[in-house]
Structure 1
């Protein structure tokens, strides 16, 4: 069995961060989102992985390399434009060959991994298995309809009027039957080859398409709010560890990881939180669910429930929260305008001014 991981999207919902960085490489708890997917694939016993790459190909390849650090063998498959999930399957035909495969969206995050799902698929081998979860706004996702027996009867991509609250999670399992399906469909009104249309073709042609509804944690990390929520979830399982230095004037409370070379001076850190390698925290407050990447500096400031990327500094800022701060950013106080009152008063006036 092989894996096909999609990392070619532009990440428009995460701009301006994704103007200069691949969305799949934005870190959660100081680890790129893509790495969690690669680790899940490796844990499921899959070795051969194809990664679909687009305009951020160089950055993805530099970060992942040949995959050996994850115990994987990685092949990169260029996609000239994000033309749909089914298009990714289409262009990966030579790599996939006649093997079953799992398709994993590189910006998705699933707690608990996919090992159980892969094992079940290997045993039962339906033509396709999709993962579903209940969501509040299904119009933003592919949506599935099930019959009374729980079988998939219909799928629709981002419907204006959803017929259920069951959204497709970004993990799909296929036999080679899907290759005929992706060749049979036409581009949607969005100009993309939709994987929902390919799945519908399989259903309409009497193929075996099954679903698993998951109740565990899943997020598409395409928005800042979702990234912060995933960061919170991962940090909740952080084990306390101090590999850097903490002076006697500092207070560390709860599950806090302070990585090699980090320095904490005269500060209060309330976990769960991560202080990255070679980061300096001085006379500051770091609140829960905060990840500071390597080489950052937080001085005379307060920050909470945020992600700060490599090499950024926050100095003299009273409070920052629920924020995603990119690489090599400087956050400083705005200059204060002098307080003054300009008056033209007539004779015998009396004026009260709040000081």
Structure 2
């Protein structure tokens, strides 16, 4: 399974961290956000990366080169930042079969493998990692409506009056049917081609999409404070892992 990573953003809300580099190369706990994404995808067993670049694209290409941890990297260019569905379409000709889609500005410590495993079962057209957020925050995201079996029955992008507080996190799996839907999407009120609108078209055509509830956490790194919080959490995870290793060594030694 291939992985498409969307990393074209400028990150204007992250300034001054993005004054001289793209959002994807902002460091969290000593590594660019994009590297955290690729490491997790590599651990899931993907066999190819398609990285969508845009703002200061040459920096991302120079940093990663043509492979990451032995996995080949292909680049596509989003000339104008016109939404996630628009960005995804730049990768269409490089994707063969079901694939993972990850937004390159999220830091996860979560059950990503469960989403991939659900897609590999072969009886769904897509799987989406979702989480419950405070109702006051739901309007910032793509909101999901699900049935009693956690199948997605509706999606709404950044609604003023959210019908649910269950939101998409930026980690998905799809079959190539999503590309056909992206081609049909019309610009939203803010002039962008929205991925939730494409997902809605899949649903209306009878496709099956499952919601996988997140276990763990994720940080959408939109502001400098988000970057600081992601770093704090990752450092806490590393410290905990080190402590477990030390205790284990002591037990073995005794």
Q: TM over 0.5: same fold? A: yes
Q: Provide the rounded CA distance (Å) in 2 between the counterparts of 1:119 and 1:149.
A: 17
Bigger-Rg structure (1/2): 1
Whole-Å Cα distance in 2 between the matches of residues 116 and 65 of structure 1? 29
Runs of 4+ in 1 over 6 A off after TM superposition: none
- Conservation of the 8 A alpha-carbon contact between 1:43 and 1:115: no
TM-score, normalised to structure 2, is: 0.89
Q: Which runs of 5+ in 1 are unaligned?
A: 241-253, 256-355
Post-superposition offset of 1:125? 4.2
The equivalent of 1:19 in structure 2 is: 19
Q: Which of 134, 137, 160 is equivalent to 2:132?
A: 134
Does the residue aligned with 2:114 lie in a helix, a strand or coil? helix
Query: Shift of the alpha carbon at 1:239?
Result: 4.9
User: How far, CA to CA, are the matches of 2:239 and 2:203 in structure 1?
Assistant: 46
CA distance in 1, matches of 2:237, 2:50: 30
Counterpart CA distance in 2 for 1:184 and 1:219 is 31
Once the two structures are superposed, residues 32-89 of structure 1 have per-residue CA deviations (whole angstroms, 9 ceiling, x without a partner) of 1110110111111112111000021011111111124x22100110110111111122
Matches within 5 A, 1:79-98: 79-96=78-95, 98=96
Residue aligned with 2:62, SS = helix
Mapped contact 2:145–2:155 kept (Cα < 8 A): yes
In structure 2, the residue corresponding to 1:109 is in which secondary structure?
strand
Do the aligned partners of residues 165 and 192 (structure 1) sit closer, same or farther apart at CA in structure 2, a change above 3 Å counting? same
Whether the 8 Å CA contact 2:110–2:215 is kept in 1: the answer is: no
Q: Give matches, 1:98-137, under 5 Å.
A: 98-112=96-110, 114-136=112-134, 137=137
Aligned runs of 1:30-45 on 2, under 5 Å?
30-45=30-45
> How far apart, in 1, do the equivalents of 2:75 and 2:111 lie?
23
Equivalents in 1 of 2:236, 2:10: separation in Å? 29
CA distance in 2: counterparts of 1:30 and 1:115, whole angstroms: 24
- Deviation, structure 1 residue 112: 4.1
Q: Distance in 2 between matches of 1:177 and 1:171?
A: 17
> Contact 1:42 / 1:71 at 8 angstroms: preserved in 2?
no
Residue of structure 1 in register with 2:170 after alignment: 170
Paired with 1:113 and 1:64, the residues of 2 have a C-alpha distance of: 26
Tell me which of the two structures has the higher relative contact order, counting C-alpha pairs closer than 8 angstroms and 6 or more residues apart: 2
Distance 2:113 2:67 in 1: 19
More helix by share: 2
Task: Name the structure 1 match of 2:29.
Answer: 29
Determine the C-alpha separation between the residues in 2 that align with 1:59 and 1:66: 13
Helix, strand or coil for the counterpart of 1:18?
A: coil
Scaled by the length of structure 1, the TM-score of the pair is 0.65
Q: Deviations over 1:166-217 (max 9, x none)?
A: 1110111001111211112211111111110011001111111111111311
The residue number in structure 2 matching 1:71 is 70
Residue equivalent to 2:52:
52
CA RMSD in angstroms, aligned pairs only:
1.7
Question: Aligned equivalents of 1:229 and 1:67: distance in 2?
Answer: 29
